[in-house]
Structure 1
C-alpha cells in the first residue's frame, strides 16, 4: 500500500477552517495540560517526601494495621465489668514497710462499724503517722485495696472469718473497707455479739464472723458459777460452731492463736494426753506450740474430709503477734510506739515466729492433701509484716472502763496496719483465680 503525505500529515491538506478550529482547541488544551503536569509533579513530590505517603500496603503490613486496630478498645462497649489481666507473681509476704502519702482507706466518720475498742482516735490517740506506711514486697508492688473490685470479685458469694477476736478484727477491717463502696445491712447478731452476718445487697455478698477460741471443741471449767480460765480441749475434734456451716461458704478465712496462752488440759477421745501451764504431777506438761499445731492440723483435716465443701477456698491467715513491752498484759506491759521497726530490729527467734512456722508446716501438708481431695488452700502470711508494726495496737486507747490501767497490745487500731491484711488477702484471691480484675 502506498502512503501519501496527506495520509501521514493530514493537517497539511486540511481546509483552512478546520486548521483554525484545531488551533483553537490546542490553545484550550495547553492550560489543562500544564495544570495536570503541575498536579502530577506535586503528587509525585508528596509520595517521595511525605512521612506518611499513601502507598499500597503489602499484605503483612495490612495485617499489622488490622491487629493494632483490634488492640484499641472499643470505647462504645466499655462497661463496669472488670477486664482480665494476667497476674504477675512474686512473694507477697517478704518485704518491708515504706512511707506512703495515701493515708488510711477510711476514717471514724466514713466507717460506722468501727468497734469502740479499736477506735483508737475516738479513745484519745493523737499521733497519725502510723497510718502513713504501706507494705512493699521485695520484688513487686502490692496493689492498693479497691472495694469496688473486691465486691465485684465476690459477687454472689459467702465469706466467713473463723477464729478468735483477732479474726474478728480482720473481718471488721474488711467491713470498713467495703462500706466505702456500699453500706452493708446488719442481718444477724447473736446474744453475745460473737456471731455476726452482714449483707451487701448490690453484690449479693454475705460477710460472716464465726467465733471460735481454739478451732477445736473445748469447754471452760466453771467454779462457783464463774469461769476459771481453765479449759479442757479436745485435740481430735473441731468446734461444731463453725464446722456445721462450712458447706455454705465460698471462702473461709481460718486463723487463731491468742487463746492458747492459758491453762489447758488436752484430751484425745477419753484420754488425757497432757496439759499446758497446769504443772500437775503425773500429767505431761507441754508447750503451747503442741496444742497450737494440733488445732490447725485437726481443722485442716476436717476441711479436707468435707465432701460438700469443694466449692470453698480456704484462706489461712498466719499468727499476728502481740507487742507488749516491759511486761505482759496483766503485769504493766504497754505498746506506745508510733512508727514501724525495720526487719533488722525484729527477733525472728521469738516464740511468735515459731508458732507461725508450725502453722505453715501444717498448712503445707493440708494444701498437698487438698490436691488429692479436691479442696483448695491458700496462704495469707501476715506474721513477718506485723512483727514490724508495734505501733499499730490500741495500747491504752481502747476505752475499756472495766480494765483501766491495762493496755491492749494484741488487737489492732482501725484504721491502721491491720488493713494491709485485706490487701494481701485480695491479691491472694486474685492470684488464685489466675487473673487480675481491674475496673
Structure 2
C-alpha cells in the first residue's frame, strides 16, 4: 500500500499494528490447526521417539528459507503437517484403485504378481490405510522424483525391503521410465534379484536394492551348514561400501533372525539361536537383534554424519507374517479383507521386534543430537497396518498339492504400496 502526503504517521502506525496483530493471530490459528498431538496409546519410548524425530526434522529445516515472502511452492509445502502417527489408523474402503497393476508394471516379479498366481478375488485392491491424525495423499510419482532429484535412494535389507522397492519402482514408472542399469546376484538362483539399480533420467534419480538380510556381515546357511553365522560388530560391506554414494537409506530386517544362527563379536563367540547339536550357549536373538541395529545405525552415523551433505535413514519396522495356518503346508489364507480396528493386536515376536527397532532408533537419534551430526533418522512404522491387512496370495480354498506359500512378502499392487505413500508423505514433511 502506498501512503498519500496527507496521511498522518499515527494513522499509518495504527494500520501497521492492526496488520501485525492479524498476522500473528492467523499464524497461531495455523499452528493450532496443523500441530498433531501423538496418540495417547503410545508407550513412553514411542512418545520420546516421535518427539526426537520432530526435533531432528525441525532443526534441519529452521533456516531453509530466507525470502521475505513465500513462493507458491513454499505455500504448498506449508499445507503439510509437521508430524503424524502413521501407525495409528485403520483400513478404509477405497474404489479409486492403484496407480498400476500386474499388467501395466513390467518390473513386478512373478512371485508378487498375485493375479497370475491364481488369486481370483480383487477386493484386496480396494482398501486404503487412513491414519486417525492426518490424511495421506495418494502417491504422486512426480513429487517423489522432484524431492529425490539428483539423489540415490537405497533399499537395504531382506525380501521385505525388496518388496517395498518393487512397489516404489512400479509407482514411479507411471510418471518416468526406469532404466535397469545394474543387476547382480552372484551364484544365487534368483538371478538379478539381489543387487539392482534403476535410473530415472528425467530427474537423475537412482533407486537401488541391496540384499543384506542381517545388515551386518553374515554367512547364510547352506544345505550342509544349517545355521547362519553373524558378525555383530561389522557391517555388510556389500552395501556399506557404497554409503558415500547414498543420499537416503531405507532399512528393513527382522525375519531372518528367527532362523538358527551363531553369533560372533570380534574374535569371541557370544552364543547361538536354535543351534541344535552345536557346542554353543543358547542366547536367543532379541539382544542380538538390538546389538545389530546399534552397530548399523552407529556405523552409518560415524561414516556419514560428519559430511556436508548428510544422509536420511529410514527404518521400516517389522512386517508380521500374513498367514492363517502353517506355512508351506496345506493351510489356507481365506481372509479377503482387513481386520476391523482392534480385532487383532500387535503382540508376541512382532511386538518385541518392533519395540527393539523403536528403542534403537531413539538411541541413535539422541546420539545424533548429542554430537551434532548431519543426519536425519526416522521410523516408517508399518507393523500395525501390515498386521491389520492379513492376506496372502495363496489359494483361499486350499490346495491338494503341497505348494510354497510366501507368507512374508505382499501382493503387488497391494498393502505395501501404503508403505511408500507414507514414505513420500514423510519426505514432503522434511522438505
Q: TM-score range by the shorter chain?
A: 0.7 to 0.9
The corresponding residue for 1:114 is: 108
Q: Whole-Å Cα distance in 2 between the matches of residues 296 and 395 of structure 1?
A: 33
Q: Whole-Å Cα distance in 2 between the matches of residues 106 and 120 of structure 1?
A: 13
The corresponding residue for 2:244 is: 247
Asked if 1:139 corresponds to 2:133, the answer is yes
- For residues 212 and 334 of structure 1, do their structure 2 counterparts lie closer, same or farther at Cα, with a shift above 3 Å needed? farther
Q: Tell whether the 8 Å contact from 2:198 to 2:208 is kept in structure 1 after alignment.
A: yes
Q: Tell whether the 8 Å contact from 2:179 to 2:199 is kept in structure 1 after alignment.
A: yes
How far apart are residue 227 of structure 1 and its match? 5.1
The corresponding residue for 1:19 is: none
Q: Tell whether the 8 Å contact from 2:118 to 2:394 is kept in structure 1 after alignment.
A: no
The corresponding residue for 1:385 is: 385
How far apart are residue 368 of structure 1 and its match? 1.3
- For residues 172 and 272 of structure 1, do their structure 2 counterparts lie closer, same or farther at Cα, with a shift above 3 Å needed? same
Q: Which whole-Å deviations, capped at 9, do the CAs of 1:35-82 have from their partners, x for residues lacking one? A: xxxxxxxxxxxxxxxxxxxxxxx9789998xx9xxxxxxxxxx99999
Q: Which whole-Å deviations, capped at 9, do the CAs of 1:194-240 have from their partners, x for residues lacking one? A: 11010111111110001102111111355xxx453411111111111
- For residues 108 and 349 of structure 1, do their structure 2 counterparts lie closer, same or farther at Cα, with a shift above 3 Å needed? closer
Q: Whole-Å Cα distance in 2 between the matches of residues 320 and 245 of structure 1?
A: 26
- For residues 335 and 370 of structure 1, do their structure 2 counterparts lie closer, same or farther at Cα, with a shift above 3 Å needed? farther
State which drifts further: 154-163 or 367-376: 367-376
- For residues 396 and 294 of structure 1, do their structure 2 counterparts lie closer, same or farther at Cα, with a shift above 3 Å needed? farther
Q: Whole-Å Cα distance in 2 between the matches of residues 209 and 300 of structure 1?
A: 18
Aligned with residue 410 of structure 1, among 408, 411, 415: 408
- For residues 288 and 168 of structure 1, do their structure 2 counterparts lie closer, same or farther at Cα, with a shift above 3 Å needed? same
Asked if 1:102 corresponds to 2:96, the answer is yes
Asked if 1:292 corresponds to 2:285, the answer is no
Counting only pairs closer than 5 Å after superposition, residues 176-195 of structure 1 correspond to structure 2 as 176-191=170-185, 192-193=191-192, 194-195=194-195
Q: Which whole-Å deviations, capped at 9, do the CAs of 1:5-56 have from their partners, x for residues lacking one? A: xxxxxxxxxxxxxxxxxxxxxxxxxxxxxxxxxxxxxxxxxxxxxxxxxxxx
The corresponding residue for 2:214 is: 214
Q: Tell whether the 8 Å contact from 1:238 to 1:298 is kept in structure 2 after alignment.
A: yes
Any idea what SS the aligned residue of 1:169 has?
helix
- For residues 427 and 229 of structure 1, do their structure 2 counterparts lie closer, same or farther at Cα, with a shift above 3 Å needed? farther
The Cα RMSD (Å) is 2.7
TM (norm. structure 2) is: 0.77
Q: Tell whether the 8 Å contact from 2:227 to 2:275 is kept in structure 1 after alignment.
A: no
Q: Whole-Å Cα distance in 2 between the matches of residues 79 and 374 of structure 1?
A: 28
How far apart are residue 331 of structure 1 and its match? 4.1
Runs (4+) of structure 1 moved beyond 6 Å? Answer: 58-64, 78-82
Asked if 1:85 corresponds to 2:78, the answer is yes
- For residues 212 and 343 of structure 1, do their structure 2 counterparts lie closer, same or farther at Cα, with a shift above 3 Å needed? same
Any idea what SS the aligned residue of 1:300 has?
helix
Q: Whole-Å Cα distance in 1 between the matches of residues 213 and 133 of structure 2?
A: 36
Aligned with residue 125 of structure 1, among 119, 128, 132: 119
Aligned with residue 271 of structure 2, among 269, 274, 280: 274
5+ residue gaps in structure 2?
A: 1-10, 23-70, 186-190
Q: Tell whether the 8 Å contact from 1:233 to 1:264 is kept in structure 2 after alignment.
A: yes
Give the total of aligned pairs. Answer: 356
Q: Whole-Å Cα distance in 2 between the matches of residues 269 and 352 of structure 1?
A: 29
The corresponding residue for 2:253 is: 256
Q: Tell whether the 8 Å contact from 2:329 to 2:402 is kept in structure 1 after alignment.
A: no
The corresponding residue for 1:4 is: none
The corresponding residue for 1:352 is: 350
Q: Tell whether the 8 Å contact from 1:164 to 1:212 is kept in structure 2 after alignment.
A: yes
Q: Tell whether the 8 Å contact from 1:229 to 1:262 is kept in structure 2 after alignment.
A: no
The corresponding residue for 2:30 is: none
Any idea what SS the aligned residue of 2:313 has?
strand
Any idea what SS the aligned residue of 1:186 has?
strand
Q: Tell whether the 8 Å contact from 2:130 to 2:136 is kept in structure 1 after alignment.
A: yes
Q: Whole-Å Cα distance in 1 between the matches of residues 420 and 213 of structure 2?
A: 22
Asked if 1:160 corresponds to 2:143, the answer is no
The corresponding residue for 2:41 is: none
Q: Tell whether the 8 Å contact from 1:82 to 1:149 is kept in structure 2 after alignment.
A: no
Asked if 1:375 corresponds to 2:369, the answer is no
Q: Whole-Å Cα distance in 2 between the matches of residues 98 and 271 of structure 1?
A: 51
Q: Whole-Å Cα distance in 2 between the matches of residues 258 and 379 of structure 1?
A: 18
5+ residue gaps in structure 1?
A: 1-57, 68-77, 398-402, 434-439
How far apart are residue 342 of structure 1 and its match? 2.1
